[in-house]
Amino acid sequence: MVAVESGHHGAIDLEKQKRVLAVRTPPKALLSYQKRLDEFVAEACPGCLTAPHPTPSNTSWKTALHSITLTNNTIYTRMASQGEERRGRGRARGGRQRPGGDQHVGVEKHTPGMDDLMGWMTGLQVHDERTWRDTSGRDQQGERGRGGRAGGRDDRHGTGGAGRDAGRRGSDSTEQGEVGRKGVGRGGVTGDRERGGQGLGRGRGRGRGREGRERSKEEEEQMVVWTRPQLLMDKKGTSGQPIHLRSNYYQLTATPALRLCLYHVEFSPEEERTWARKALMRQHTNVLGNYIFDGMQLFLSHKLGKDPLEMASKRPDNNTPYMVKIRFIKELPSSDPEYLKVFSLVVKRCLEYLGLTQVGQHYFDPTQEMVSQKHRVAVWPGQQVGIRQHEHQVLLCTDVIHKFLRLDTMHDLLRQILANHPDNYHHVVRRQVLGNVVMTRYNQRTYTIHDVAWNITPTTTFNFRGSEITYLEYYQQTYQVTIKDHRQPLLLSRPRLKEQRRGTSSVYLIPELCVATGLTDAMRNDHHMMKDLAQFTRMDPERRVQSIRKFSSNLFNNEKVKAELQQWGMEFSKVLSAVRGRVLPQEIISMGPVSFQYKGFGSDWIGEVKNVSMTSCAQLTNWVLVFPSRLKSEAEDLLSGLRRVSKSLGMVVTQPAIQILQGETLQEYVQGVGQHGGVKMVVCLLPNSRLDRYAAIKRHVTCVMSVPSQMIVARTLQNKAKLMSVVYKIAMQINCKLGGEAWRVHIPFQNAMVVGYDAFHDRGGGGRGGASWGAVVASYNHNLTKFYGQVTRHANREELTSNFRVAVMNALKHYSEVNGQLPERVLVYRDGVGDGQLLYVKDTEVTAIKACFEALGFSPRFSFVVVSKRINSRLFTQNPSTGQPANPPPGTVCDDVITRPERYDFYLVSQQVNQGTVTPTCYNIIEDMNSNLDPDRHQRLAYKLSFLYCNWMGPVRVPAPCLYAHKLASVTGQALKDSPPAHLRDKLWYL
């Protein structure tokens, strides 16, 4: 039925709007929604409703949804854009706007029109879902969490222990605006940021509008991509025991009841630095009134009387005159996504009122700097803050973060390298300097180092605003900084490709003014250093909650913050959000003839399987043991230990060939190993964990000899009290590398292939210019314990997609060869995807995998799940004995409240953490084609897969296929630097 409004409002397709409404409306609320919609339309168009609507059953509800086609934009965005178009037509007809954004058409009494209908539906979708949730009688509270550390220890550290993070958090590099070789760099400015179709850009010509312009990193993270399946009405599971949780979120309890006007700001002469632009705008507070300015866009709670508005300003530091031109863009309705941006900018301004310093996208407190003189490292405590629309409310997330800064400057590092390596100075500098993220202390900005400009020194001149000036003079005039060493080479930081297309120049930095941020791999491998730094950064749940509450108290009780929030009509809850989760049933683990249930406490189950044989045992025959002569005692302990544990594990271990080395150089190791061609396994005892030695041996054994290998650091065998435990884990690891199976869990379906993907990015060679390796591992047995692994190098995401597609095709063919048929079900767990990459992954990678199915002529049940570790949410439960915050137990799942309304997502705590705060993992199901898996089964399966990483006797943080893919990619990128032989693909040689 199509109802036509009288007057100037045009036509409303009522059935279409009801179908749009149905996408976000729970079926139990549909009756009341239809009644309210009928009442609304009756007012808008009397007589349009000619017949009552039928009572909606679940069948009619699902049938109605079949005709709905969603785009990758949220309904809110679509409503906002349609509203803008309608308001534009209204203005052309001579109508006027009111604060709510509704169109008046020259009559005294306002007749509800399409804008009112769309606005009413928007509010209905947000608010009335709570009514359904409260009256449905079901517990639908949930939560999601942030990433932490889990995974398997590399074999060169001795055992398959608890290990390192499957993906470490790196330092962020931000767009900057420093002096370039031939002029001032243009970093930090994104061109025209108008969300309309045209509009003037600043700097280098016209802006691209919404479709054409490049997005900033922050905008990509906030971009909404609809990945929730069209027919999914309820994404909450039901199994498990309920658990009460707290999260690190504060609810936005009051939002501004005002209209927002968006303006574009231009400066003449051009000014690239955001802080300077803000300083120029602050001089006109009396004219602008209450405003928000991000350096490009200006938001006002009222419309200026003149358009465009031009005002004169002077730069505070040198009185340079500027002309500021403010041009009106549009009025924003309350449904516009720009409102969230305004909220975010208001919060950032509030953080500045607390005296925090912005470094990259986060805020830190330099006054609370903690220094370790022993390791020459400073630690800045800070806050990571974000605000966005979650399942039912707008929530503010805050968490404690830390930034590591070296006390030594890059100039100190260059001098140290020159003193230690005078013969190959340039080579060592490139190896140790390139790829570092540095911070300039004079403006707290970060840069990635891509090259060293050996022919440029501080005395070199460049053109600055029409005149030649040296770097010495520039830094003295601009930052009042005196450079001491006039002969030091400068460091080069290149902009990203999209910044280069906008005209951003490279940046040259003075080494003595830069300090490196973050920790190197060598620092992370120094257990003593990490233990010392942990006293600054590691927080148990009680301490973390105290820190979050202290920050929120300082924030919300600050008088300037109170005034700022009041001006914008914003108010936050003063308590951490309370949510309800569930603890999934614990898994039954089977190892050989023994089955037992994981208890959920304690980090592993090694105590349950003493003297128990493995599920499938390989034979350790025709192997060689290589060690230097001074480690003969450790080698004998290893051999005697292997003979003892092999009996209980069910392994056959024969006497190896012995290769004793006179020295410990990597050349002697490679030559000694090379004398034993034809063996099936190489075991090496290493004096320490030096990466170059490990890489050389691993590369030779894997790529030249084409056999698995086991590297063992001697110190792990020197503790006699733990010797048998260490040897036990080594034996299990060797068994899995040879094709055996350690344990299994019950898998609820047959003939399925589970795929994991992760990537390794080599920071050497200039950071973003370093090599990237993508690994794909795919199961090929029913127990999901044997994997076919492939790894390839890629330079861009187009190559990544192509390699991904080829790897999935090869995995399907291998599965068919082993099992005699193709899998009936394929599940892909994709790690390493940021929010800004979701749309590409959904549109390109998922499509490429479906093309594999079409090429092979079959249509399996298919699910594609994005696994995210680097998230900011935290979960806390209550310690029953002390009443203080504690970590939730393994198996805790949250699937409501702070999940995203546009996603099919949930958050899972699978691992046990004994120190610090547990960090959940986010699962976002972006494709679920005929899978027959409801939310509960997806959650249970993700938890099951966390038990199948054979390098650790306990659940890990991510599904085992993702962790295997991470190990394969990192070993290849760090050690092999080349793809391994094809006949090793069906072995876990990379553990």
H/E segment holding residue 155? none
CB 870 within 8 A of CB 172: no
Q: How far apart are CA 573 and CA 577, in angstroms?
A: 8
Largest CA distance in the chain: 100
DSSP assignment string, 283-336: TTHHHH-SEEE-SSEEEESS--SSSSEEEEEE-TTT--EEEEEEEEEEEEPTTS
Question: Do the beta carbons of residue 921 and residue 869 sit within 8 Å?
Answer: yes
Residue 570: which of 348, 850, 821 has the closest Cα?
A: 348
Do residues 238 and 142 lie in contact, with contact meaning Cβ atoms separated by under 8 Å? no
**Omega of the bond prior to 955 within 30 degrees of 0, cis?**
no
Residue 790 C-beta-side C-alpha neighbours within 13 Å: 19
Do residues 709 and 697 lie in contact, with contact meaning Cβ atoms separated by under 8 Å? yes
H/E segment holding residue 966: helix 960-971
The answer to whether the beta carbons of residues 620 and 708 sit under 8 Å apart is: no
Residue 168 carries which DSSP code? Answer: P
The residue type found at 638 is L
> CB under 8 Å to 346, separation ≥6 — which residues?
292, 564, 565, 568, 570
Tokens of 142: 């949930």
The catalytic position among 758, 762, 896, 927 is 758
The Cα-based distances of 447 to 180, 506, 673 in angstroms read 13, 11, 43
Residue 758 a catalytic site member: yes
Q: Rounded to the nearest 5 degrees, what angle is found at the Cα of 181, between the Cα atoms of 176 and 184?
A: 45
Tokens of 616: 């499938």
The CB density around residue 867, as the number of other CB atoms within 10 Å, is 25
Nearest one of 405, 434, 412, 440 to 179, comparing CA atoms: 440
Q: What are phi and psi of 147, to 5 degrees?
A: -75, 160
Q: 297-300 and 260-268 as β-strands: parallel, antiparallel, unpaired?
A: antiparallel
> Any idea which residue has 């005892």 for tokens?
685
Residue-wise DSSP of 69-120: ---SS-HHHHHHHHHHHHHHHHHHTT-EE-TT-PEE-S-SSPPP-HHHHHHH
Contact call for residues 438 and 509 (beta carbons, < 8 A): yes
Nearest to 301 by CA among 564, 571, 572: 564
Contacts from 463-472 at CB under 8 Å and sequence distance 24+? 463/182, 463/183, 464/179, 464/183, 464/184, 465/184, 471/179, 471/508, 471/510
Q: Rounded distance, CA 335 to CA 78, Å?
A: 10
Phi-psi region of 429 (alpha: psi -120 to 50; beta: other; left: phi over 0): alpha
In this structure, the number of other CB atoms found within 10 A of the CB of residue 926 comes to 25
Tell how many helices (H) and how many strands (E) occur in the chain.
Answer: 27, 47
Rounded CA gap, 685 and 163, in Å?
19
Decide if 585 contacts 239 (C-beta within 8 A): yes
Q: Is residue 905 flagged as an active site residue? A: no
Q: Is 602 left (phi over 0), alpha (psi -120 to 50) or beta?
A: left
Bridge partners of 325, per DSSP, are: 266, 310
Active-site residue 412, yes or no? no
423 is catalytic: no
Write out the catalytic residue numbers: 758, 799, 831, 966
